[in-house]
Amino acid sequence: MRAPPSEKILDAFGIEGFPMLLEGGEGRTFQAGSFILKPAENMEEAMWRAELMNSIVEDGFRVPRPVKSKNNKWVESGWCVYTFLEGKEVPNRWEEKINVSRKFNKSLAKVTKPDFIDKASHPWAIADKMIWDFLPMRYGEVLKPVMTKLESLLRPIHLKNQLIHGDMTGNILFHKALPPAVIDLSPYWHPAQYAEAIIVVDSIVWDGAPETIIKELDDTFETHQLLLRAAMWRIKIIEEYIFQYGKGDIHEINSFNRVIDLISEVLH
């Protein structure tokens, strides 16, 4: 857990109140009043993210807006601030999440690819680059049976890449009177439909969604290949997280058995 922002940081952004650590956010995100404070681990990405979130036109969704400091900066002494959005994450409403993903990622369609995406080396990025063949695939003995099976199903696809939010499933907040809020942008450079495929895989594995959720996606060869890559990505993340951080349980891969069977069925 990171130490909370100091009074100096709060004052720099004109924030009053005591910062409280929020659940999630990898133990690094704090709330003070109507503001969210996050450490800027990567200055290039933090500046880019602030400019992007400041420019997005809301269309059926809400986004947190960046706040400038008294010095007219998006980042101050390693911290950035965003507006707090009301709402709660819910473990169902899968069709709505897919719809929000389509609307939100449509708003990103013309955004230029940022350089830091190719430089990223965290577990999620390494797994992503392996699945999309930008790094050599590697995995241990536990993953070998399932990954070799899934690798044999991979086929080339030809869809346009764009900036997407690649981790939307648990980052959509619902409110009874306001449009859904999209938070914690995880930037990747892939087809927009891939974000939807990730939601489907996540919902089946983590939220017990029915297999019929797959019908919310286009019934095409490319979509099925995106589902395959989404499942492989989530599985590889488990191992890569353990490799980099030394914690986690490799046997979490067993929770993917159902979705693996479903994807294997549609690809045959």
Q: With 80 as the cut, is the pLDDT of residue 123 above it?
A: yes
**pLDDT at residue 212, as a whole number:** 94
The answer to whether residues 54 and 149 belong to one domain is no
Q: 88 in a domain, yes or no? A: no
Domain count, the chain: 2
Q: Which residues of 186-217 are buried (b: 16+ CB within 10 A; e: fewer)?
A: ebbbbbbbbbbbbbbbbbbbebebeeebbebb
Q: Are 114 and 48 a contacting pair, CB within 8 Å?
A: yes
CATH of the domain at 155: 3.90.1200.10
Identify the band that residue 157 occupies on the pLDDT scale cut at 50, 70 and 90. Answer: very high
- The domain in which residue 219 lies consists of 94-267
The answer to whether residues 73 and 107 belong to one domain is no
The answer to whether residues 200 and 149 belong to one domain is yes
**pLDDT at residue 258, as a whole number:** 95
Domain final residue pick, 25, 50, 83: 83
Q: 241 in a domain, yes or no? A: yes
For 74-108, what is each residue's pLDDT tens digit? 999 999 999 999 999 998 899 999 999 999 999 99
Tell how strand 172-173 and strand 181-182 pair up.
Answer: antiparallel
The answer to whether residues 107 and 210 belong to one domain is yes
**pLDDT at residue 2, as a whole number:** 72
The answer to whether residues 46 and 98 belong to one domain is no
Q: 254 in a domain, yes or no? A: yes
The answer to whether residues 160 and 31 belong to one domain is no
Q: Tell me the residue type at 69.
A: S
Domain final residue pick, 83, 110, 141: 83
